[in-house]
Amino acid sequence: MDTLKLKLTKCEFGFKAGPSTVVSIFINDKNLIDIVRKIELPYATKEGCPQIAGSYSGLYAFNLWDEMIKIRKPNAEFSPEVLDCTCGCKGCWPLHLKIEEKNDVIVWSDFKNPYRTNLTNPDHNWDYSKLGPFYFDKGLYETEMKKLRQWAIESDPGIPKDKVIKAGKGYTEQDVIDAHAFSINNEDELMSETKCGCFYCLEIFDPKEIEEWCGDAEGSALCPFCGIDSVIGESSGYPITKEFLQAMKEFWF
Ligand SMILES: [Zn+2]
Ligand SMILES: [Zn+2]
């Protein structure tokens, strides 16, 4: 079994003066960035640019938490990212992977950098098959995720900290916070669903009624009744009920 440890560390991003606090990932006490650099170095050297090997940085806690909770979606196509570009722009140079749960073991595998995968020039396709798979004990893994969740809540500028969160039947206070991530970039999921709800105007409706999306690549649904990007679908795993939507509204608005 492998071990996973998350630590808050400081780094300097290109776009911003001064240090930023990000999450560093340690597997078997080695920084994941160093493990990846070893794998990438022969390819980067062949490209004449050895310095791009392992040129990753950790994500902000709230970004990493978003990536981690997206794995709960039944959408198997989604591969979360755990590292990204040293410049600080998300999506600029990311490292993706697959996270699966098998018999109380969490498996990290299929690492890839989308900018070094499936390219027409095969010299630029980097093979990560020797990176992992890593096997983590589920109990210990969840301890790390709880830590991450706490950091995410403390650092996310979008999460209100002074409001009371209500738990209800079938959902916890934490669900009210976590469900918010499913209102972002949710076009793919919503298109395959039959029921969704808005946590601003509290309407419950068929996603086919959605006409507008905001954001780039994968859009975020705008509610057809109130125009706010506050729509979550059933595949989020959270109850699409007036009560739950109301609890979300009280917290988020
Ligand atoms: Zn960049
Ligand atoms: Zn609405």
Ligand 2 ion: Cβ-proximal residues, 5 Å cutoff: 198, 200-201, 223, 225-226
Q: Which ligand has the nearest atom to the CA of 226?
A: 2
State the pLDDT at residue 109: 94
Q: Which ligand has the nearest atom to the CA of 13?
A: 1
**How far away, in angstroms, is 205 Cα from ligand 2 center?**
10
Q: Domain check: are 101 and 222 in the same one?
A: no
Q: Domain check: are 141 and 200 in the same one?
A: no
Ligand 1 ion: Cβ-proximal residues, 5 Å cutoff: 85, 87, 89, 92
pTM, rounded to two decimals: 0.69
With CA atoms as reference, report the closest residue to 235 among 202, 197, 209: 197
Domain termination site, one of 122, 155, 188: 155
**How far away, in angstroms, is 229 Cα from ligand 2 center?**
8
Alpha-carbon distance 251 to 245, whole Å?
A: 10
State the pLDDT at residue 16: 65
Q: Domain check: are 178 and 143 in the same one?
A: no
Domain residue limits at 181: 173-252
Ordered per-residue pLDDT tens for the chain, 253 residues: 999 999 999 988 876 667 889 999 999 999 999 999 999 999 999 999 999 999 999 999 989 988 887 655 544 566 899 999 998 888 889 999 999 888 889 999 999 999 998 778 887 899 999 999 999 999 999 899 989 988 888 887 777 767 778 888 889 888 898 888 889 888 988 999 999 999 999 999 999 999 999 876 678 899 999 999 999 999 888 999 999 999 999 988 8
> Could you tell me if residue 106 is inside a domain?
yes
**How far away, in angstroms, is 195 Cα from ligand 2 center?**
14
Domain termination site, one of 123, 155, 187: 155
Q: Domain check: are 178 and 104 in the same one?
A: no
State the pLDDT at residue 77: 61
> Could you tell me if residue 166 is inside a domain?
no
> Could you tell me if residue 148 is inside a domain?
yes
Is residue 193 helix, strand or coil?
A: coil
Domain termination site, one of 155, 185, 213: 155
Q: Domain check: are 26 and 132 in the same one?
A: yes
Q: Domain check: are 120 and 232 in the same one?
A: no
**How far away, in angstroms, is 222 Cα from ligand 2 center?**
8
State the pLDDT at residue 74: 46
- pLDDT, one tens digit per residue, over 4-41 is 999 999 988 876 667 889 999 999 999 999 999 999 99
> Could you tell me if residue 163 is inside a domain?
no
**How far away, in angstroms, is 88 Cα from ligand 1 center?**
6
Alpha-carbon distance 252 to 161, whole Å?
A: 10
Q: Which ligand has the nearest atom to the CA of 90?
A: 1
State the pLDDT at residue 75: 47
- pLDDT, one tens digit per residue, over 66-85 is 888 765 554 456 689 999 99
**How far away, in angstroms, is 105 Cα from ligand 2 center?**
39
**How far away, in angstroms, is 218 Cα from ligand 2 center?**
20
Is residue 129 helix, strand or coil?
A: coil
**How far away, in angstroms, is 206 Cα from ligand 1 center?**
38
Q: Which ligand has the nearest atom to the CA of 210?
A: 2
Judge contact between 85 and 57, C-beta under 8 A. yes
Judge contact between 184 and 222, C-beta under 8 A. no
Q: Provide the domain count of the chain.
A: 2
Q: Domain check: are 216 and 114 in the same one?
A: no
Instruction: Give the 3-state secondary structure of 43-106.
Output: HHHHCCCHHHCCCEEEECHHHHHHHHHHHHCCCCCCCCEEEEECCCCCCCCCEEEEEEEECCEE
Helix (H) or strand (E) holding 25: strand 19-27
